[in-house]
Chain A
Amino acid sequence: MEAPSGASNASAYHAEMDGDTKIPLILFPTCVMEAMAPAVGEAVVRTLRDRGFAPSIPPDATCCGQPAWNAGYPEEAATVARTTLAALTDAPSGPVCVPAGSCATMMRVYWPELFRRVGDEEARAAAVEIADRIVEFTRLVADDRRQADRQGTVAYHHSCHMLRELHIHDEPVALLTDAGYAVADWDDDDRCCGFGGLFSVKEPEISVAMADEKIDGLPLDGIEALVGSDLSCLLQLEGRMRRRGIDLPVRHIAELLDPSGPTDVR
């Protein structure tokens, strides 16, 4: 099957679906998810299957290279990104689903620039080639809207890259409300959480102050969980909340969409 072009093309894949046949899909799991939240990865897999995809992870894919790229080390970023790019290029055609807005941005938006910067024309061309196939998780899933009656009120954190580089704003909120959850008003839900990769280590005081202002604005009395689509932002916010003694559950959106997940948010 040829991969249709465009960022959000699951419906095109669905059009080619035949009964119960699942559409092959490459899942790029992200290093943070593999190391810190394999359970979230399972929820991602089950959600994708529920929407008609057959996800597989290319065994040789590693990391997108973003930590080094954002820190100002393009050579090191390219060394790592090249490995993943090759693994994805060798994998079957079809969408490459990335369950993190930030990694999806790195691969879709910044890879061509990264390889241009280090003078690797072959990799740059391959990155341009694959860019259209890179799809952030909620954008892919939102092409197949499902109504359900799950319970709970959550706050949703709009992560920066997803919002301002991939321009994904409505999809995750629509997925949550479709599933039955209420999404609470949260002032400045689109302001940066303060993670920023190495920024959180180089300027920890500013980073924590940014997290604090986000957390201070949470309507804690009216919500049962904080939800987002980027585990790294969620680690930052959860890490700060735990230190402050706030035990609000923090969930990746896939956990709330997981067909075998709990029917209420806790």
Chain B
Amino acid sequence: MSDDLRTRATEALADRGLHEALARATDRFVEIRRAGDDVANLDALKRAARWQRHRVMERLPEILERFADAVGRAGGVVHWAADAAEANDIVGDLAARHAVRTVVKSKSMLTEEIGLNEALEAVGIDVVETDLGEWIVQLAGDRPSHILGPAIHYTRERVAELFSARAGEELPPDPEVLCAYARASLRERFLEADMGISGCNFGVAETGTVVLVTNEGNGRMVTSVPPIHVVVMGMERIVETWDQLDLMMTLLPRSATGQQLSVYTTQVTGPRRDGEIDGPDELHVVIVDNGRSHVLGTGAHEMLHCIRCSACLNVCPVYRQIGGHAYGSVYSGPMGAVLTPLLDPSPAATELANASSLCSACHEVCPVGIPLQDLLLLRRADNAAGGAPAAFRAWAKVWSRPAAYRASIAAVQTGARMVPDTFVPSAWTDGRTVPRPRGRGSLRERLARGEI
């Protein structure tokens, strides 16, 4: 991660085009999400979902074992990866064993988190992202800036430039033309791929089923055309029963894109069976920990409930201003500011707790009721575990003594009147003018004396 949050944010803020793209895209997401408020008892469903996520996390190891057994019974192979390196090694070994040269991928933030593409490319494998947004970002040598809309920071004109350069001909900034070009290009890659890699929206423990939620159909190609399908799954992305899945599937598409159901909901139970026409010869499920098990049982455990709908990014006024890249991490917005330091508590990650005005808009929309603003506060307190700065210690000393408090209020009032630009930190006055105090004197003394 380069620089600090403030530096990255300032760079992002200077990019007006970025801000316009973000405002347009997040407004659109928020607008379409409202269409998902069609269920009458949405709040009750959210409360139920929060409770069901609790129930799963309380027994996570047992439920994961059950899932792994069921995957095995269905003919799949489960691999356990403690961290990113192990996960990449497992996939790399599988690729080597099958002499894989080309991999097609459907969208997966976890593979971004563990750096799988880079690991495979390092051993000469051609990795092709097939989600349209991911493909755009990959062609540009860029990174996703939103967990659902990786290319949310691109205008269609920029996409047309990228595609034109690849096509060797001028393509107009027309979404239909651009999509048709992407479809034709990616179709070839699906057919030649030796391995398909997908993420996992939910694993269902009782049947060992991997459920994928997509809208472009690429996920179905990735999971059924190549001879090997590798699922890379975060260890928390699991439900125990189909009833729980039903509840999650009622909430996820609605919270993500305002859809009652995504265009494709792919359910993969094992590899192709005898007599079936489609499907891979081998199915591998890599269950990745990478810091997640450390979160279990801590005050921040609810972050593992996240179902990656991105609703919190779309309503976040900070994300709206600076976009995903300014967070300097794979996950951005409120969920990213909480999750990133939980997975890797580096100073650059823990600093993300400051990327919030604590407005609670994230909590309001979260389909599983994660108290994101409380978790941000918890992180801020952890960051300050070494003790508060002297200014805050002095403040506490003064304002816990009523007489000293009253004297300091008088002093602040005078300061604000006499030297308004110097009595608050310059970081505040660089962009704002301290308003003059309205009225004068001690409110409480005047009230007590009957002067009001």
* A residues neighboring B (CB under 8 Å): 27, 29, 31, 33-42, 45-46, 55-57, 59-63, 67-77, 79-80, 82-83, 87, 113, 117, 160-161, 164-165, 191-192, 194-197, 199-211, 213, 235-236, 238-240, 242-243, 250
A35–B425 contact, CB under 8 A?
no
Interchain nearest-CB distance for B403 vs A (Å): 9
Secondary structure call for the A interface? helix
Which residues on B sit within 8 Å (CB–CB) of A209? 13, 19, 321-322
| CB within 8 Å of A: which B378-395 residues | 379-384, 388, 392-393, 395
Q: How far is the CA of A207 from the CA of B6 in the complex (A)?
A: 11
Interchain nearest-CB distance for A76 vs B (Å): 4
Chain A residue nearest to B7 in the complex (CB)? A205
B10–A164 contact, CB under 8 A?
no
Best-buried of B10, B318, B322, B448 by chain A (most CB within 10 Å) = B318
Which residues on A sit within 8 Å (CB–CB) of B437? 35-38
Secondary structure call for the B interface? helix
B416–A117 contact, CB under 8 A?
no
Question: If A45-B452, A160-B360 touch, does A202 touch B433 (CB 8 Å cutoff)?
Answer: no
A199–B358 contact, CB under 8 A?
yes
Question: If A38-B442, A76-B388 touch, does A201 touch B356 (CB 8 Å cutoff)?
Answer: no
Can you show 14 pairs from A to B with CB atoms below 8 A apart?
A31-B409, A38-B438, A38-B442, A57-B443, A69-B377, A72-B384, A73-B381, A76-B392, A76-B395, A161-B360, A192-B359, A200-B428, A236-B432, A240-B431
Which residues on A sit within 8 Å (CB–CB) of B9? 203, 205-206
Interchain nearest-CB distance for A265 vs B (Å): 15
Chain A residue nearest to B417 in the complex (CB)? A36
Chain B residue nearest to A239 in the complex (CB)? B432
Chain A residue nearest to B413 in the complex (CB)? A35
Interchain nearest-CB distance for B409 vs A (Å): 5
A55–B432 contact, CB under 8 A?
no
Chain A residue nearest to B434 in the complex (CB)? A239
Q: How far is the CA of A208 from the CA of B317 in the complex (A)?
A: 12
Q: How far is the CA of A63 from the CA of B399 in the complex (A)?
A: 7
B357–A196 contact, CB under 8 A?
yes
Which residues on A sit within 8 Å (CB–CB) of B430? 204
Q: How far is the CA of A88 from the CA of B157 in the complex (A)?
A: 61
Question: If A72-B353, A203-B5 touch, does A83 touch B434 (CB 8 Å cutoff)?
Answer: no
Which residues on B sit within 8 Å (CB–CB) of A55? 447
B412 beta carbon closer than 8 Å to chain A: yes
Interchain nearest-CB distance for B59 vs A (Å): 27
Q: How far is the CA of A71 from the CA of B354 in the complex (A)?
A: 9
